[in-house]
């Protein structure tokens, strides 16, 4: 394969002829020389290509090259006479692959607003900011697989279409082949999903957790990493209707082991970005969120505080006048509470555990007090919750009772309950919203800008 521009920029000056392929970011002309900045997405900085017009016979070709054009340039890498780069290409041959009409090209040589770039999501990866976001996202995704593969986890693909709701929230996208204008009806007049494609009501998955647990009961440690969906009508900077989730499940593991894995996993991801995306992280620290690199280094180097929910509430109640939302035992912690704990009280990441059972999902392990469950949320400075997880309920009778309490039909989860009938063991797991992690690492203000093609209420373009 041909070298990417990121590799060409690291070359020592030599007489060897090399090839650079990419898109023109900028073009500057003088009487005798044409300068092109060519970028192929492999790094933030483009390769400066210098074309001596006296040695280049085709002036018509050069005049056809504009910002946005795709080109193939050939020549040696030489020491740069300019101060903004160490090396450049002294081009001997240029091929114009694809023209780009300058009058209609949406990306002009100026700073565009993020809102405008969101309207041209098919072209925004060509900008510095979204190129950097894409490279960081790629590094994080690779690091997810590296971490789990290095630690003996098995990668499992859980279904996109499911008939169960892992969260019990009911905010799911219905998957159906029935005629929406004239669906079959039961005798009672309800839509007869028994005649649908799957013979029952089916949805886009909200989580791969329940299916992941089935494989943990055979493979011990597994993880799933795939798209999930929520039909939640939330138009906020933190919500998407389609997003990716990283969900490990571990058999023979309790909440203590769960916290250990969650902490080491986050530190591994952040360290990977700092080590492999230094140029992009410097860009984000300078132009998006000041001090972003220092924040990540601090998280990598700092032990996470572990704090029971009850103790967290007591601490927050001391400072209740600082909050918009009231703090009381039994209520869920709000983002402002989570940030206060991490940024003011402890000045470090915090793992809050043992939440009231009434505000957590049915599958979480019930504590001996009968009031709390072994749930955990990992909170980080500047964001709040970044990971949610728990030790799972492994007792058949307790789990069945919890389902009934939460108005779920145990018969719909017969296969999930079988895991407690046949060789049940303590097990635990957690979920990391991948886009939340990318947003946190880059400092981007809106989650719609860290996924290539965002899906949200009334937004399904591209």
| CA dihedral angle for residue 94, residue 100, residue 101, residue 105, rounded to 10 degrees | -140
What gap in Å lies between CA 36 and CA 57, rounded to an integer?
17
Contacts of 84 (CB under 8 A, 6+ apart): none
Provide the whole-model pTM: 0.94
Confidence of residue 167 (pLDDT cuts 50, 70, 90): low
Q: What is the pLDDT of residue 164?
A: 80
- Give percent of the chain with pLDDT exceeding 90: 88
Q: Using CA atoms, how far apart are residues 451 and 444, in angstroms rounded to an integer?
A: 11
- Asked if the model's pLDDT at residue 345 lies above 90, the reply is yes
pLDDT single digits (tens) 286-330: 999 999 999 999 999 999 999 999 999 999 999 999 899 999 999
Asked if residues 387 and 262 have their Cβ atoms less than 8 Å apart, the reply is yes
Asked if 35 and 27 count as a contact pair (C-beta separation under 8 A), the reply is yes
Question: How high is the pLDDT of residue 169?
Answer: 53
If you average pLDDT over residues 330-349, what whole number do you get? Answer: 96
| pLDDT at residue 315, rounded to an integer | 96
Q: Are 389 and 258 in contact (CB under 8 A)?
A: yes
- Is residue 82 over pLDDT 80? no
Give pLDDT tens digits for 7-51: 999 999 999 999 999 999 999 998 889 999 999 999 999 999 999
Which residues have C-beta within 8 Å of that of residue 149, sequence separation ≥ 6?
Answer: 155
pLDDT digits (tens, 9 = 90+) for 354-397: 999 999 999 999 999 999 999 999 999 999 999 999 999 999 99
Rounded Cα–Cα distance for residues 25 and 407 (Å): 58
| pLDDT tier for residue 234 given thresholds of 50, 70 and 90 | confident
| pLDDT score, position 296 | 96
* Alpha carbon 168 to chain centroid, angstroms: 23
For the chain, what is the mean pLDDT? 94
Instruction: Dump pLDDT digits (tens) for 113-165.
Output: 999 999 999 999 999 999 999 999 999 999 999 999 999 999 999 999 998 87
Burial of 211 (0-12, 13-18, 19+ CB in 10 A): buried
CA atoms within 13 A on the CB side of 435: 23
Check residue 150 and give its pLDDT: 98
Average pLDDT over residues 76-80: 95
Residue 46: predicted pLDDT: 96
pLDDT in tens, 50-69: 999 888 777 788 989 999 99
**Can you spell out the DSSP letters for 328-381?**
-TTSPPPHHHHHHIIIIISSS-EEEEEEEGGGS-TTBPBPTTSSEEEEEEEEET
pLDDT of 247 > 90? The answer is yes
| pLDDT for the residue numbered 168 | 57
Residue 147 three-state SS: helix
pLDDT in tens, 448-459: 999 999 999 999
Mean pLDDT over residues 74-84, rounded?
89
């Amino acid at each position: 394969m041909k070298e990417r521009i990121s590799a060409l920029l690291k070359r020592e000056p030599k007489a060897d002829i090399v090839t650079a392929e990419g898109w023109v970011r900028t073009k500057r002309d003088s009487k005798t020389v044409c300068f092109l900045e060519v970028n192929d997405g492999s790094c933030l900085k483009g390769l400066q290509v210098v074309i001596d017009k006296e040695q280049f016979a085709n002036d018509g070709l050069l005049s056809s090259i504009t910002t946005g054009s795709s080109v193939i340039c050939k020549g040696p890498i030489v020491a740069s006479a300019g101060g903004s780069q160490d090396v450049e290409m002294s081009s001997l041959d240029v091929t114009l692959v694809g023209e780009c009409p300058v009058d209609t090209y949406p990306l002009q040589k100026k700073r565009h607003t993020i809102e405008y770039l969101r309207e041209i999501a098919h072209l925004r990866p060509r900008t510095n900011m979204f190129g950097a976001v894409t490279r960081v996202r790629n590094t994080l995704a690779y690091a997810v697989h590296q971490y789990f593969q290095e630690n003996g986890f098995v990668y499992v693909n859980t279904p996109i279409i499911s008939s169960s709701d892992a969260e019990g929230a009911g905010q799911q996208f219905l998957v159906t082949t029935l005629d929406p204008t004239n669906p079959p009806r039961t005798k009672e007049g309800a839509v007869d999903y028994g005649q649908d494609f799957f013979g029952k009501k089916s949805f886009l998955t909200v989580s791969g957790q329940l299916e992941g647990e089935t494989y943990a009961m055979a493979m011990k440690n597994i993880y799933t990493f795939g798209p999930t969906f929520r039909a939640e009508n939330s138009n906020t900077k933190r919500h998407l209707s389609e997003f990716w989730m990283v969900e490990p499940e571990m058999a023979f593991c309790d909440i203590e082991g769960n916290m250990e894995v969650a902490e080491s996993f986050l530190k591994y991801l952040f360290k990977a970005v700092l080590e492999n995306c230094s140029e992009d992280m410097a860009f984000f620290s300078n132009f998006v969120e000041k001090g972003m690199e220092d924040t990540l280094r601090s998280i990598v180097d700092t032990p996470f505080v572990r704090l029971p929910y009850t103790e967290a509430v007591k601490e927050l109640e001391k400072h209740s006048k600082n909050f918009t939302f009231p703090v009381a035992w039994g209520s869920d912690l709000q983002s402002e509470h989570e940030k206060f704990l991490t940024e003011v009280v402890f000045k470090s990441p915090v793992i809050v555990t043992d939440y009231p059972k009434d505000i957590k999902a049915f599958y979480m392990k019930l504590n001996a007090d009968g009031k709390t469950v072994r749930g955990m949320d990992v909170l980080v400075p500047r964001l709040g919750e970044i990971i949610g997880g728990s030790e799972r309920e492994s007792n058949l009778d307790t789990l069945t009772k919890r389902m009934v309490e939460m108005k779920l039909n145990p018969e719909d989860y017969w296969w999930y309950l079988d895991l407690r009938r046949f060789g049940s063991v303590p097990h635990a797991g957690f979920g990391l919203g991948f886009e939340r992690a990318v947003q946190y690492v880059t400092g981007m203000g809106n989650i719609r800008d860290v996924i290539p093609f965002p899906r949200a209420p009334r937004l399904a373009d591209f």
